[in-house]
Chain A
């Protein structure tokens, strides 16, 4: 009996710190955000408690829906452009012999550098006056293509999407590379004995066996589109004229630029809800398991 009590106390000791962090730093802030989202708190005080923030968002706030559209657009760009290239590069590098390791290391380098450095670097790269991109366009005789890549509201979002794909490419690549390396090499030998060439092996064996990894990475990519904040924050801060807002930057702009702290908290709550819903939907949609190996 005494022993049993000791164990119960020990379980409590083991879970208490983790639970405290989760409750104090995730659940409590969420509850506070929910509370403040019903107010017109401006950083000092509030005198209303109603649903007006949510009403405003759902009925009148087109920037919020643009931010949501930008998030979805980025997620789709990850899935349609970044990931297929990453899968292809991952499969190809495994055939590069002694170059396999150097290539793998080099491809990942942009992803190991802090986002705040690479984002600021891209601000310079896309600079109108001295940026590398406009320089190169001049160098190849395409001066007329020169653009204010981050200052033009029609193209800024595509510049952001491109930079986000560049930053995350190494990571996407690495996950697929690790997935391919997890496939037992006996399968390769068996396939070659059965007369398959490398192309056939890649398409008929690697790709199907990679499906669980691809599935997880698609979920991660879509969610990453929703969670995007850091790159945009430094590159455009959501501008010009709110054309590159994402949920994260928009809640920041509303709270700290416009002083609408309650409103920002309502966006925070919807931010959480969307992330939860998207993850659940993606998991449901892609829940088709492939055999174990």
Chain B
């Protein structure tokens, strides 16, 4: 009796897992196809096979992707923009959220209302006016034209995440620090910043993903080769080298791969940062 119940449970779970796996395979199949075809000759694209064993493996596609797509240079630009956005977003948001969460003063109502409204404003509603403004003040085609709007639109969500954290943190340490004569700035940078490390990591990951994946502002504001970011590597292959399918697929795989690897390595941290903003509401 006990054994048969156990078996029924195992059977049910096996069916459940198999069913879920089938769904997941269907969901991920486009990516498998992408990687597969990134190793084929462009001529092989017009067969009828769903998947095709590369014979031989066309690693030259990856070489072409790297050179024709200017991957190293554009990757570096993306990294520069992302690094600056992450650092500034974390510091600015932490400072702002400390005032909203901890200090009782009359400006808080206006301040938190402002942050709330900015959370709703869609980033691309500022695309045209910023294009206009950046042209007037000579910021167009510059790292700053990507950095500044990205930071501004990351601040609201980051502030909410920080406030959520500060509300669950006891004030005892800060009170002791005040008695010891530490100033407000000292408290934020010497006390709050070190204990917020996990939340800072969450906000940092969120800032990284948003900046790394942004491309509409990039293609609108950037035209010189020396400021182009990673999306341009792919865009090269939708225009200039559009018929080089193999290299186009290789460049997509190349761009996707680091994200997937990083996600595999830091699954829990990334999951935390993506859910921190929404679940708490």
The chain A residue with its CB closest to the CB of B89 is A21
Instruction: Point out the residues of chain B lying under 8 angstroms from A233, CB to CB.
Output: 216
Considering residues B151, B209, B212, B216, which has the most beta carbons from chain A within 10 angstroms of its beta carbon? B216
The answer on a CB contact under 8 Å between B256 and A17 is no
**Nearest-CB distance from B281 to chain A (Å)?**
5
The residue from B17, B122, B183 contacting A275, defined by CB atoms under 8 A apart = B122
A interface SS class:
helix
How far, in angstroms, from A42 to B120 measured CA to CA in the complex? 28
Answer yes or no: A259 CB below 8 A from chain B CBs: no
Binds A, one of B53-61, B63-71, B111-119, B163-171: B111-119
In the complex, whether A175 has a CB less than 8 A from a CB of chain B is yes
Compute how far the CA of A109 lies from the CA of B271 in the bound complex, rounded to whole angstroms. 12
Instruction: Give the A-binding residues of B (Cβ under 8 A).
Output: 13, 16-17, 20-21, 23-24, 27-31, 33-34, 45-46, 48-50, 91-93, 95-96, 98-99, 103, 105, 107, 111, 114-115, 117-118, 120-133, 148-149, 151-153, 155, 159, 183-185, 188, 209, 212-213, 215-216, 220, 230-231, 234, 238, 245, 248-249, 252, 255-256, 259-260, 263-264, 267, 270-271, 274-275, 278-279, 281
- Quick check: B120 and A22 within 8 Å, CB to CB? no
Bound: A240/B245 CA distance, A:
23
- Specify which chain A residues have a CB less than 8 angstroms from the CB of B92 in the assembled complex: 17-18, 21
Interface membership of A229, Cβ < 8 A: yes
Asked if A258 lies at the interface with its beta carbon under 8 angstroms from chain B, I say: no
**A115 CB within 8 Å of chain B:** yes
Q: Contact check, B185 vs A30: say whether CB atoms are below 8 A apart.
A: no
Q: How many residue-residue contacts, CB under 8 A, span A and B?
A: 253
Q: Which of A48-56, A61-69, A121-129 forms part of the interface with chain B?
A: A121-129
27 contacts between A and B (CB under 8 A): A10-B185, A11-B105, A13-B95, A13-B185, A14-B185, A21-B152, A24-B148, A25-B153, A26-B126, A29-B126, A32-B129, A89-B23, A92-B20, A103-B21, A112-B263, A116-B213, A121-B31, A121-B34, A169-B27, A175-B274, A212-B281, A229-B124, A229-B216, A248-B122, A251-B124, A265-B128, A268-B125
A29 and B124 CA atoms in complex are apart in Å by 11
Whether A182 lies near B130 (C-beta < 8 A) is no
A169 / chain B contacts, CB cutoff of 8 Å: 27
Q: How far is the CB of A181 from chain B (nearest CB, A)?
A: 9
Known: A217-B278, A255-B128. 17 other contacts (CB 8 A): A6-B183, A14-B96, A17-B92, A17-B95, A25-B149, A25-B152, A26-B152, A26-B153, A29-B126, A36-B129, A103-B24, A120-B252, A124-B245, A132-B33, A216-B279, A261-B128, A268-B127
A120 to chain B: which residues have CB within 8 Å?
234, 238, 248, 252
Query: A-B pairs with the 9 shortest C-beta distances?
Result: A25-B152, A18-B96, A10-B184, A29-B129, A29-B126, A178-B275, A32-B129, A33-B129, A130-B45
Q: Do A14 and B120 have beta carbons less than 8 Å apart?
A: no
Q: Closest residue to B238 on the A side, CB-wise?
A: A120
Residue interface mask A154-189, B partner, CB < 8 A = 1: 000000000000100101001100110010000000
Task: Please measure, in the bound complex, the distance between the C-alpha atom of A177 and the C-alpha atom of B221, giving whole angstroms.
Answer: 38
Complex CA–CA separation, A118 to B31 (angstroms): 9
**Shortest CB–CB separation between residue A84 and chain B, in angstroms?**
14
**Interfacial chain A residues near B188, Cβ < 8 Å:** 14
